[in-house]
Amino acid sequence: MSAEYDALLVVAFGGPEGPDDVMPFLQNVLRGRNVPRERMLEVAEHYHHFGGVSPINAQVRELIAALEPELRRHEIDLPVYWGNRNWHPLLPDTLQTMTGAGVRRALALFVSAYSSYSGCRQYRENVAAARESAGPQAPDVDKLRAFYNHPDFIAASADRLRDAIARLPEANRTDVHVAFTAHSIPASMATTSDYQRQLEETARLVAEACGILPEQWQLVYQSRRIPGWNRTSSTTCVLSTCGVSRRWRSLPLDSSRTMWKCYTISIARRRKPQERSA
């Protein structure tokens, strides 16, 4: 690998790291879209609820800190660069740095595990635009495959789910229900990608690895609140693969719209039918 490539580029969404970052970050995210400022301010409040900090940049730093010694352990001598779509370090700046360092050909790891326009093709467009801005000497960039079903990704997710189940009262562990949560994307985007199929495969593989039966798990989507779910009890494990909130708030179910991505597990429960009308 090191003979063909001379760098590894980690590509991510980016996120604010303090209150002053939130509005500039959202302006980057929403650039070119007709989103009212009132709506932008409403979204900003979600970030301010957590001190204006998204966990994603810290997670990418942790990933790179683990990745660099792992590459050395396998005698792969590649420097690791990092570029974000929406916040520093931004992809154009990173490609400029790589060009100045003489990088000629790089592998790109997109931290989005699944295929969709916003999770894959848009990143490709971002990389292409960043290469163009860096000039004719910019390195070629080849993307690594989507890792939604990679054995190590499945094993890591299964480990997290087992950890969550182990925190349940022992009497409840044999009757556990698992909700795999997913970021929503527009239905029009879902129908032109493998996003939903890949999510379903990931959920199935993780469930199988943990001995969870098909009737004991469900894929749910982060767009509307699930009727009949709350956050007060302990017979349902929630495996979220998204990276936006460290708290369990509401689980939306909207199979007509779409899908997911984090690394947080929380505990919830399904209310009994007689509780739902209360």
CATH of the domain at 201: 3.40.50
* Residue 137 structure tokens: 């000497």
Integer angstrom CA distances of residue 101 from 84, 98, 104, 139: 19, 5, 9, 10
Residue 33 lies in a domain: no
Cα distance between residue 261 and residue 112, in whole Å: 7
Cα distance between residue 54 and residue 218, in whole Å: 27
Residue 228 lies in a domain: yes
Across the range 10-15, mean pLDDT stands at 97
In this predicted model, which residue has the larger pLDDT, 182 or 57?
A: 57
Q: How far apart are the first and last CA of the chain?
A: 60
Write down which residue in 101, 126, 143 finishes a domain: 143
In the chain, the percentage of residues whose pLDDT exceeds 90 is 64
Residue 169's pLDDT band (boundaries 50, 70, 90)? confident
Together in a domain, 84 and 157: no
Residue 207's pLDDT band (boundaries 50, 70, 90)? very high
Residue 87 lies in a domain: yes
Together in a domain, 197 and 246: yes
Together in a domain, 237 and 139: no
φ, ψ of residue 269 to 5 degrees: the values are -150, 160
Residue 213 lies in a domain: yes
Q: Are 218 and 189 in contact (CB under 8 A)?
A: no
- What local confidence, expressed as pLDDT, does residue 176 receive? 85
Together in a domain, 257 and 176: yes
* Beta-carbon-side half-sphere exposure of residue 39 (alpha carbons within 13 Å): 6
- What local confidence, expressed as pLDDT, does residue 63 receive? 95
- What local confidence, expressed as pLDDT, does residue 171 receive? 84
Mean pLDDT (the chain) is 81
Number of domains in the chain: 2
Neighbours of 173 (CB within 10 A): 13
Residue 38 lies in a domain: no
Together in a domain, 74 and 124: yes
- What local confidence, expressed as pLDDT, does residue 44 receive? 95
Write down which residue in 117, 143, 169 finishes a domain: 143
- In terms of residue numbers, what domain contains 160? 151-276
pLDDT 10s digits, 38-60: 999 999 999 999 999 999 999 99
Residue 178 lies in a domain: yes
pLDDT 10s digits, 143-166: 999 999 999 999 999 999 999 889
Peptide bond into 89 cis (omega under 30): yes
**Pick from 257, 254, 108: which is nearest to 195 by CA?**
257
**Buried/exposed code over 139-149 (b: 16+ C-beta within 10 A; e: otherwise):** bebeeeebbbe
Across the range 20-49, mean pLDDT stands at 94
Across the range 47-76, mean pLDDT stands at 95
Cα distance between residue 112 and residue 34, in whole Å: 25
Residue 162 lies in a domain: yes
Write down which residue in 94, 110, 143 finishes a domain: 143
* Residue 260 structure tokens: 């997911």
User: Strand 264-270 and strand 236-240: pairing?
Assistant: antiparallel
The residues, any chain, with a CB within 8 Å of residue 146's CB and separated by 6 or more, are 110, 112, 113, 114, 115, 120, 198
pLDDT at 249 over 80: no
